[in-house]
Structure 1
Amino acid sequence: MSHRGRTADSDKRTLRREILSMRNRLTPDDVRVAAARLAERALELPELAGADTVAAYVSVGAEPGTLALLDALRARGVRVLLPVLLPDNDLDWGEYTGAGDLVTVRHGGRMALLEPAGERLGPDAVTTAGAVLLPGLAVDARGMRLGRGGGSYDRVLARLERAGAHPALVVLLYDTEVVGHVPAEPHDRPVRAVVTPSGVRRFGRPG
């Protein structure tokens, strides 16, 4: 890794710590209220309205809540795909059929995740999505997203690129997580929009 790459990686770790610290101060009520508003804002997105299939994820802990949004998309007749973490940190996918069919899975010593209990569709299933909702910790004015650092979604984005698939990439965040600058590395790709409880912000590049 070059000096520039090491610097960006170090800066990302610092920003991650700051944002996770802020999230840890949120109360369950803060998270619940923000999740309801986030769903309302996201459902206004034409990228979601026009998608037959949306790849999403189940929020955990103090992440911006997604379950209300997942249920609303299903009620619209949208096919919702959810990730299943593989041992190598890549993602398989399964279809969301309701909160009652989610199972809690603990991967090593990391945070327990809620994953779909049904059939596994394979890592390439994400290439059928018209929109991909990405977890994240921050986004900047260029649309550069800060992830958690596990690399799972870097693999997803690379898979989409290899397949020639161009779904709308949308990140779900709290208002305070739209920041001035996210350190970027050459493999990082911008998102098309960020949805926060107060609204939607779009970025200039296709995503």
Structure 2
Amino acid sequence: MLRREILSVRSRLTADDVRETAGALADRALELPELAHARTVAAYVSVGSEPGTLALLDALHARGVRVLLPALMADNDLDWGAYAGQDALVRVQHGGKMALLEPTGERLGPAAVQEADAVLLPGLAVDARGMRLGRGGGSYDRVLARLERAGAGPALVVLLYDTEVVERVPAEAHDRPVHAAVTPAGVRRFR
């Protein structure tokens, strides 16, 4: 039910709303020490009414940060490729799912995310415990489990709109908390 509510609110956002908040979101994220010192950041390209990420991706890339972007595989797991600018993205339609913007270059394999100093995660909401509500496809649950199995400890940061930091989201035993949430208005840290 919470997913439907948030998606309904997002569906009413205009392209101008998304564009206006994207700059503020990038500014807040770039202030994070975890990103200021990162050599490699795993991120994603926002689509539709998701909080905009292109300004942030471009700023990280301009800093010389290696930015890894996901490519959705048939089993809903994620492969990774390096971001080489907006011109090196291609729109990929995945069956009945949404179309995603993915990197056109070489695929680095699902384990490439383990090289990241920080992982920027999409989400629909986060609660006071740092538990993230995703879209329900499980792709990022697999990423977080892979990082844990490998003993990798990147900073986990979810990018959201201000109203999407909520009291509580449903969580299952396999869910992992994030370290911070970034919204256009600021940063919220969790234990």
Please give the TM-score of this superposition, normalised by the length of structure 1. 0.92
Which of 115, 133, 141 is equivalent to 2:102?
115
Inter-partner Cα distance in structure 2 for 1:71 and 1:31 = 16
Which residue of structure 2 aligns with residue 37 of structure 1?
24
Q: CA deviation at 1:110?
A: 1.2
Inter-partner Cα distance in structure 1 for 2:151 and 2:106 = 25
Which residue of structure 1 aligns with residue 48 of structure 2?
61
What letter matches 1:67 in structure 2? L
What letter matches 2:58 in structure 1? D
Which of 109, 127, 134 is equivalent to 1:140?
127
Aligned residues: 191
Q: Kindly report structure 1 stretches of 4+ aligned residues shifted beyond 6 Å.
A: none
What letter matches 1:147 in structure 2? G
Matches within 5 A, 1:58-207: 58-204=45-191
Q: Equivalent pairs: percent with the same residue?
A: 81
Inter-partner Cα distance in structure 2 for 1:94 and 1:187 = 26
**1:17 counterpart = 2:7:** no
Inter-partner Cα distance in structure 2 for 1:149 and 1:118 = 27
Q: CA deviation at 1:118?
A: 0.3
Question: SS state of the match for residue 149, structure 2?
Answer: helix
Question: SS state of the match for residue 143, structure 1?
Answer: coil
Gaps of 5+ in 1: 1-13
Q: CA deviation at 1:50?
A: 1.2
Question: SS state of the match for residue 24, structure 2?
Answer: helix
Question: SS state of the match for residue 201, structure 1?
Answer: strand
Inter-partner Cα distance in structure 1 for 2:148 and 2:27 = 30
Q: CA deviation at 1:130?
A: 0.3
What letter matches 2:57 in structure 1? L
Q: CA deviation at 1:141?
A: 0.6
Q: Which has the larger radius of gyration?
A: 1
Inter-partner Cα distance in structure 1 for 2:158 and 2:63 = 21
Gaps of 5+ in 2: none
What letter matches 1:87 in structure 2? A
Question: SS state of the match for residue 184, structure 1?
Answer: coil
Q: CA deviation at 1:109?
A: 1.2
What letter matches 1:78 in structure 2? V
RMSD between aligned alpha carbons?
0.4
Q: CA deviation at 1:165?
A: 0.1
Please give the TM-score of this superposition, normalised by the length of structure 2. 0.99
Q: CA deviation at 1:135?
A: 0.2
